[in-house]
């Protein structure tokens, strides 16, 4: 089956562009490139992908902005899509609808206006959540009606969660199929390396909290610093992704531990880029105090190897997000792949990643609740394999690609 993939890959790097990159790689790559080089190979999933890299922003702070150059780029991408329809005989178009942002919604309207008449079958893949409610509360009736006319009645909507299925249903697709995200296993040595060290760190913390002192061998097995509870935050550095709540929660938790005269303390490592200059200044001011300098470390954007090393060294992942378009974040999938408990929120599609009785949910915009949960999590005894099992059961890349390919091929029948 031939498939026109109208979506962008990194840069800029975020969850959606990363998943598109994984999909193209898993389906055999872009035949527009491999055919020219003579390196074309058969897809293991029965799909031939022709990719239009619909990138109009190269930096994170440019996403969502409106400028004339973006319109010209988008028109060029649409011309490529129409050309592929006739050059390669592709009849099915794969497209990722916008989140709730004005410029992105106008993009959807323009792309569907120009390209949809040429494609008998259109597939939407809903990576972002919240578009339906945003349209009803932020967009005037006339503009909303114009968008509904262009996005309604597509052949298939693929959704990540029950929450995002609500967005898809507002545009009355002919079918809706849920497909979980999936990522490559980032720690294949989990059983041999990660799990034993995580168990050793917990045992040493429990011994310290009870007034004991770990032996030199116990300290070595625990990484040398069992008195430090390592928190990790990996996401774009924005308020609504939970960055400030994470840092303020760590500071509050450390104050409580000092008041109890506990030998334990918390440190947080932050991996990600800032999108807003004002938030960066506010964060720098927060981190300037001696208390925060001792507890927080901003690593910025790092390589995949450095990021995974930080996951392996962490004791808990903190992501108290209330980002408007959150759905099924890849950072949470990476965290549970490393067997980490994830302190997060019941926001958008996030709760569907975890069991119904999951104990690490906190209210949004509540550093007080984050602090309380962090202190409670210091001595929590759940084995790392509990969280690792969530990943292996539902979010492995191979499972995702099989389910996604089956959903896409279903439109032919």
Which pLDDT tens digits describe the chain residue by residue (413 residues)?
A: 999 999 999 988 888 999 999 999 999 999 998 766 555 566 789 999 999 999 987 655 555 555 677 899 999 999 999 999 999 999 999 999 988 888 888 899 999 999 999 999 999 999 999 888 888 888 888 888 988 999 999 999 999 999 999 999 999 999 999 999 999 999 999 999 999 999 999 999 999 999 999 999 999 999 999 999 999 999 999 999 999 999 999 999 999 999 999 999 999 999 999 999 999 999 999 999 899 999 999 999 999 999 999 999 999 999 999 999 999 999 999 999 999 999 999 999 999 999 999 999 999 999 999 999 999 999 988 889 999 999 999 999 999 999 999 999 999 98
Cβ(161)–Cβ(327) below 8 Å: yes
* Predicted pLDDT of residue 317: 98
- Nearest Cα residue to 132 out of 155, 151, 110, 116: 151
* SS3 at position 145: helix
* Domains detected in the chain: 2-182+396-412 (3.40.50.2000), 190-394 (3.40.50.2000)
Q: Which residues pair with 176 in a beta bridge?
A: 157
CB atoms within 10 A of CB 380: 14
Sign of CA dihedral 357, 362, 368, 370: positive
DSSP string, 226-255: TTEEEEEEES-B-TTTTHHHHHHHHHHHHH
Asked if 270 and 280 count as a contact pair (C-beta separation under 8 A), the reply is: no
At 40 the pLDDT is: 55
Q: pLDDT value at position 22?
A: 97
């Amino acid at each position: 089956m031939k498939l026109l993939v109208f979506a962008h890959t990194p840069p800029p790097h975020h969850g959606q562009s990363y998943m598109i990159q994984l999909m193209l790689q898993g389906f055999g790559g872009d035949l527009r490139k491999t055919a020219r080089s003579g390196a074309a190979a058969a897809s293991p999933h029965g799909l031939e992908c022709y990719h239009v890299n619909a990138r109009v922003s190269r930096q994170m702070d440019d996403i969502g902005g409106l400028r004339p150059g973006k319109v010209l780029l988008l028109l060029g991408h649409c011309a490529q899509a129409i050309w592929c329809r006739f050059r390669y005989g592709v009849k099915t178009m794969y497209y990722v609808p916008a989140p709730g942002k004005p410029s992105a919604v106008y993009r959807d309207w323009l792309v569907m206006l120009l390209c949809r008449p040429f494609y008998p079958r259109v597939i939407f893949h809903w990576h972002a959540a919240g578009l339906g409610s945003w349209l009803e509360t932020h967009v005037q009736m006339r503009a909303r009606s114009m968008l509904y006319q262009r996005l309604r009645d597509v052949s298939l909507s693929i959704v990540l969660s029950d929450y995002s299925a609500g967005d898809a249903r507002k545009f009355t697709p002919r079918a809706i199929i849920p497909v979980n995200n999936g990522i490559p296993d980032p720690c294949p040595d989990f059983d041999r390396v990660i799990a034993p060290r995580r168990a050793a760190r917990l045992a040493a913390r429990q011994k310290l909290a009870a007034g004991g002192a770990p032996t030199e061998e116990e300290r070595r097995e625990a990484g040398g610093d069992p008195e430090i509870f390592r928190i990790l935050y990996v996401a774009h550095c924005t308020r609504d992704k939970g960055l400030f709540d994470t840092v303020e929660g760590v500071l509050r938790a450390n104050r409580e531990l000092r008041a109890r005269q506990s030998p334990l303390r918390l440190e947080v490592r932050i991996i990600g880029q800032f999108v807003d200059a004002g938030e960066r200044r506010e964060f720098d001011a927060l981190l300037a105090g001696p208390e925060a300098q001792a507890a927080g470390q901003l690593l910025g954007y790092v390589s995949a190897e450095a990021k995974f090393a930080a996951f392996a060294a962490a004791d808990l992942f903190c992501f108290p997000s209330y980002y408007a378009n959150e759905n099924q974040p890849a950072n949470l999938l990476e965290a549970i792949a490393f067997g980490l408990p994830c302190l997060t929120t019941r926001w958008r599609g996030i709760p569907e990643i975890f069991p119904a009785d999951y104990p690490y949910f906190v209210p949004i915009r509540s550093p007080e609740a984050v602090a309380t949960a962090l202190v409670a999590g210091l001595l929590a005894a759940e084995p790392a394999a509990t969280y690792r099992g969530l990943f292996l059961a539902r979010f492995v890349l191979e499972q995702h690609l099989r389910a996604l390919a089956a959903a896409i091929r279903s439109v032919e029948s």
